[in-house]
A and B are shown apart, each in its own frame.
Chain A
């Protein structure tokens, strides 16, 4: 602690603190352009100049740390006049075309000149112009460098946070222009963070261009509904159309950052293809109907089916309230535990993953995880599936020197900040972690004596496990020793453990062994659907009730329902927001099976392939048209707010589900219109949600206090045991005959499931389906990136464009699960996510 004076007031502040932060903490307003808490300080804009008594020159407070005895003046006449002069300088070459600038009305330069600046100019010289017309830099960026104030936040966010670094400052002095290499069209992540950090109208959104002035927009606080990171967004509409989704500085765990999906995937809401009226099948044909007819048909359809022959599938993109009520509908009035929310994964895989990542113990903040000395990223394609977590890991590991180790079969953007990258064969997370667990448990054999999972890997032996995973023993030893030298270990474990559930048992052993060695282990589960964790905690699982409590009778998971259906033994199914016909592994099987179900109700926002098979279609709404809460992967409960009315005759999903609930319960117990009432019930019935704090400060702020731990769910008294999982992925490869490449899948950077495919903006980023292999493999095959290739497996063959990826393991091919024209699951056997394929130039 040091003693300083700010504007005459004596203070004690932490040594090394920036003067800017100390002054802002005291409530003094110091304007800045180039300063941003998350970025490296450069002190270039000179807006934050302050006076230190005894020093002749003014000092930039954003890069000057406090020192003992300093007397700082933030509002002295010299400082005030320097601020005004700096703004006058910035305005000498600023375009001042505010009336036609998209930023007008929300421009930091405008605000600053209004507050601190000279209101008249003295310069008569012509302004320097970088270029004439605005130029397009990417499908989403249009640029006008004449408005630039050279804060270089765009360049820094691109390299320091996003990690692609495709922007640079070209030239110097007034000629300096922040742009791409020779102003070429960008081939980047299209995240638009450069647009968001730009204080002026230099980087602008192309899709939003000239659609509105900021003061004509109506806005609502919401959550991005693609992956489960749970980024805060503000959605904005004009004349009934959603025109913008943006993040705010200092709001939510993402602060000002978002990925391409979060920032540009909003336009699904405006789609012309939205379902707007209920439909009921009459004489074999779906016809528009009234809600009374639709509910009448449902009353009749479900009444005639027996509980054991009724099933429900709800999308993990629905809100907690909707999922809670949906599960309650099935497990209550319909008396069936056949409820699922994870179509792609088996109920056992879910239990194993939840157990291994200690989800029952309650929410864990990503910032606590990153507070560890070493962080291990495993079983996740983090940079593609959860880009904002990738940003957080990059930012914090670079700033604090956290040791990052990444185990994956594909290369990822985050590799560049890792101190160790392990490249294992696909689907062998279990073997790799098994070997690590054996090495870790070497000294602690007693602990695991009675553990069946441990004994089984011990019988296999370290060397066999290492050989299967394709990672050398010495690399695994290096990983284990990096854990050994850290007192705190963070583990970020993702969806591969759900795709290949054999891995969860080993992950649990590694965590237990580390905890046994007295280390503080923080595990963050990483998921790819916004409310997947919430869905499980609301009891949308055939074996688990709310908060992971065990159900007395185990119901059927989605795979079980489909098997039953294919035998003609499922009377009715209610599907909300999912499209199994194209997304379930083996879609043709799902199509046939659903065709055999006596009565099918589909509730969705779009006319999907599954909806086409329905007897009743109920038009629901998107996140922009409803209220509710989502629980992100960390267990953070955050609310969304409605901005638009439902389109046409569509109803809010909660209203639909509660009406159906009331039909079958024979009461009017459930309020039909309000989600708050249901959340109050959740608080009462689901112990872990009792104390969750939903209040949220949505004021844009300059502080970087992003972690609202009050909104994390509490721990549950339930304890999950590691279930036995059947069907090893390795066996599927063996039976396929190894044919060159091992095909795996996951989410594409620009997409999340099939929903994002409805976004025209996101659709503009990639043309056609892509298969991805390592650079070395492409060289070996003599094929270059961008060529057309044929990918042939034993079940399916497709033509795609080849792309190379730096750092991927040899022999691994990747096709994202998001393409309509190449449904990757057709390559796989039902229930599996790995296959052998051949790749050749077509």
Chain B
């Protein structure tokens, strides 16, 4: 069930476009933000009804982009480490295994306190500042092990 607040947000997003269908991405993002960083099948169904499109089209949009979390639930902070060529050459894999160790999880898993989920991403278009990762909406660039430790500690402290 979508909350009143989310429904209102979707209404606002729709105003930016000529056709209802164009609001799919914004609407999905609004729903995901308001429901604990995750999208469920019921959410997609609800968005489909509001925007008057077939549910499978919503599913196809959500399935295409890595920013929608629907395959399995993710934690509060979704860490996506780029492991394409530039980042890998500059140590992405090393960062990943470091994070696996410090968070006590393996790739694709979520910490027991639902704070972090660690996944990889294909090129995020920030090769000039490799290695890099995306957490939520933010890019963290020119990473080192120390930087990563600090970022994770900050995030944990903030929440």
- A residues bordering B, Cβ < 8 Å? 159, 164-173, 176, 180-182
Contact = CB atoms under 8 A, between A and B. Distances in A.
A166 B54 CA distance: 7
Interface in B112-130: 122
Interface stretch (B57-65, B96-104, B141-149): B57-65
Nearest to A171: B63
Nearest to B122: A173
B55 interface: yes
B56 A180 contact: yes
Contacts of A173: 122
A94 B78 CA distance: 32
Given A159-B54, A181-B56, 9 more contacts: A167-B56, A168-B63, A169-B64, A170-B56, A170-B59, A171-B64, A172-B63, A181-B41, A182-B59
16 contacts: A159-B54, A167-B56, A168-B56, A168-B57, A168-B59, A168-B63, A169-B64, A170-B56, A170-B63, A171-B64, A173-B122, A176-B63, A180-B56, A181-B45, A182-B41, A182-B59
B57 A165 contact: yes
B59 A181 contact: yes
A159 B53 CA distance: 11
B19 to A, nearest CB: 13
A168 B61 CA distance: 9
Nearest to B41: A182
A173 B122 CA distance: 11
B100 to A, nearest CB: 23
B54 A165 contact: yes
B41 A169 contact: no
A180 B54 CA distance: 10
A180 B64 CA distance: 15
B136 to A, nearest CB: 21
Contacts of B45: 181
A218 to B, nearest CB: 38
A164 B64 CA distance: 21
B154 to A, nearest CB: 32
Contacts of B60: 168-170
Interface of B: 41, 44-45, 54-57, 59-60, 63-64, 122
A806 to B, nearest CB: 10
A203 B12 CA distance: 40
Contacts of B64: 169, 171-172
Which of B41, B44, B60, B63 has the largest number of chain A CB atoms within 10 A?
Answer: B60
Nearest to A165: B54
A168 B24 CA distance: 15
B85 to A, nearest CB: 16
A172 B44 CA distance: 18
Contacts of A168: 54, 56-57, 59-60, 63
A172 B54 CA distance: 19
B134 to A, nearest CB: 17
A261 to B, nearest CB: 23
Contacts of A164: 54
Contacts of B63: 168-172, 176
Contacts of B56: 165-168, 170, 180-181
Contacts of B55: 181
Contacts of A166: 54, 56
A-B pairs with the 7 shortest C-beta distances? A168-B60, A168-B56, A170-B63, A181-B56, A181-B55, A171-B63, A165-B54
Contacts of A171: 63-64
A828 to B, nearest CB: 36
Which of B44, B56, B63 has the largest number of chain A CB atoms within 10 A?
Answer: B56
A170 B57 CA distance: 9
B71 to A, nearest CB: 9
Contacts of B59: 168, 170, 181-182
Nearest to B53: A165
Nearest to B70: A182
A166 B122 CA distance: 29
A165 B63 CA distance: 17
Contacts of A159: 54
A165 B52 CA distance: 12
Nearest to A177: B63
A57 B109 CA distance: 41
A39 B121 CA distance: 33
A182 B39 CA distance: 13
A167 B55 CA distance: 9
Which of A168, A169, A180, A182 has the largest number of chain B CB atoms within 10 A?
Answer: A168
Nearest to A175: B63
Contacts of A169: 60, 63-64
A166 B44 CA distance: 14
Nearest to B71: A171
A181 B62 CA distance: 11
Contacts of B122: 173
A169 B62 CA distance: 10
A113 B122 CA distance: 30
A335 B55 CA distance: 63
Nearest to B55: A181
Which of A164, A167, A181, A182 has the largest number of chain B CB atoms within 10 A?
Answer: A181
A167 B60 CA distance: 9
A169 B60 CA distance: 5
Nearest to A186: B56
Contacts of A172: 63-64
A159 B60 CA distance: 14
A610 B47 CA distance: 53
Contacts of B41: 181-182
B153 to A, nearest CB: 34
A159 B54 CA distance: 10
A172 to B, nearest CB: 5
A159 B21 CA distance: 15
A141 to B, nearest CB: 14
Contacts of A167: 56
B65 to A, nearest CB: 8
A199 B54 CA distance: 25
Contacts of A170: 56, 59-60, 63
Nearest to B60: A168
B72 to A, nearest CB: 13
Contacts of A180: 56
B43 to A, nearest CB: 12
A165 B56 CA distance: 8
Contacts of A165: 54, 56-57
Nearest to A178: B60
Contacts of A182: 41, 59
A170 B64 CA distance: 7
B39 to A, nearest CB: 12
A784 to B, nearest CB: 15
A671 B91 CA distance: 87
Contacts of B44: 181
A168 B48 CA distance: 13
Contacts of B54: 159, 164-166, 168, 181
Nearest to B66: A172
Nearest to B64: A172
B48 to A, nearest CB: 8
A167 B54 CA distance: 9
A171 B68 CA distance: 11
A110 B103 CA distance: 48
A176 B41 CA distance: 18
A171 B62 CA distance: 8
A23 B54 CA distance: 38
A805 to B, nearest CB: 16
Nearest to B63: A170
A159 B57 CA distance: 10
A581 to B, nearest CB: 42
Nearest to B48: A181
A176 B63 CA distance: 8
Contacts of B57: 165, 168
A755 to B, nearest CB: 32
Nearest to B54: A165
Which of A166, A167, A182 has the largest number of chain B CB atoms within 10 A?
Answer: A182
A808 to B, nearest CB: 17
A164 B56 CA distance: 11
